[in-house]
Structure 1
């Protein structure tokens, strides 16, 4: 469906947000949006996948946190992997950490907007997404550029898990128990985390991780 529109030329969109009030607000907003037609709304990732296959929207407006079930990133990944190319996915969320942005774009999102955007910017981003053009909120774009100029350390998923446990004040034994791994494995990962972050203490690792927004 990439780049397609209906017979009237309107971009057909599917809303995916787990908050009914947010969906209602978006529906009311798009009532007056030129060239945009809402063809369906979903409260979960699973529902979005089913409705997308049934309705064939041009763009899915996707929140990242969807409560139970698969999250917005995994839903985006599955939509992008559809045999026919699937719809474009435009993320609309309140979450703007580096990890969220990287995961969403890596999963195949065409654009990334924050819910604080003005309606006109949202409308323009939807039309751009339907045409395959990328749109990023100004704060997100600034952070992406900053990361390109000064890349942040790349941590593995396991290292991120351990770092998150570390930020909660857990010791090696507690982390090992929580992640179902050995203490020796925890120590090995901590050594790698320290090297990547340029620190030599647990407190230093947590401080740098928070500063560079490496924590979930």
Structure 2
């Protein structure tokens, strides 16, 4: 079954180009496009795509941040992959807080975008490394200054380790192979992590891991 996509961007040429690129993939289908956040919200509720590719800046209409938050509240099952030209730490984190499953820079190669869509579709989060490095640095600086610090003792060392793998997009099977344990053991730890942090989805864990400085990209 194809990944059903909705593309939201204020530039017609970008919408057309992305439609051609993604429509040419054997496992993807572009079912609609939108020129601003409001249109993206309305069409997403009407067409029910698997993933919305959401541009952040879409003047003079509703921006991608507002549309992401509204759409995740109205239809949490729809994943949102944010497209952005800017590596803005605070803004990008606000997008993750709004419920996006990840983001990718518009300057990224075509193959990175295709991989990002497939990654998000299987339930993992996609964070483009070139943008994420500066985001992580920002939060590490805050932690060093005593800001945004929360109790972290609720997770055991093993749970913290598994959380890092989960946030980086590893499947339960891949985590089990890395740690040389059974898949069932990983699933048990994951359930405990979710329970302790009072979270239900992988994107929530990714945002938490980012905030705690648990992710690193070489």
Instruction: Place the TM-score, normalised by the shorter chain, in its bin.
Output: 0.5 to 0.7
Which residue of the partner structure matches residue 41 of structure 1? 33
- Is this contact kept in 2: 1:16–1:62, CA < 8 A? yes
- Is this contact kept in 2: 1:128–1:134, CA < 8 A? yes
- 2:120 pairs with 125, 129, 134, which one? 129
Cα deviation 1:86-124 (Å, max 9, x = unaligned): 410000110211122111111111011001111111111
The structure with more radius of gyration: 1
Provide the TM-score with structure 1 as the length reference: 0.63
The question of 1:53 aligning with 2:71 is answered no
Structure 1 unmatched ranges of 5 or more: 1-8, 155-216
- Is this contact kept in 2: 1:73–1:107, CA < 8 A? yes
Task: Give, in whole Å, the separation in 2 of the partners of 1:134 and 1:43.
Answer: 25
Which residue of the partner structure matches residue 186 of structure 1? none
Structure 1 moving runs of 4+ over 4 Å: none
Task: Give, in whole Å, the separation in 2 of the partners of 1:144 and 1:151.
Answer: 11
Question: How far is 1:145 from its partner?
Answer: 2.3
Provide the TM-score with structure 2 as the length reference: 0.63
Question: How far is 1:60 from its partner?
Answer: 0.2
Task: Give, in whole Å, the separation in 2 of the partners of 1:11 and 1:127.
Answer: 8
How many residues matched? 146
Which residue of the partner structure matches residue 113 of structure 1? 104
- 2:20 pairs with 6, 15, 28, which one? 28
- Is this contact kept in 2: 1:15–1:38, CA < 8 A? yes
Secondary structure at 2:100 match in 1 = coil
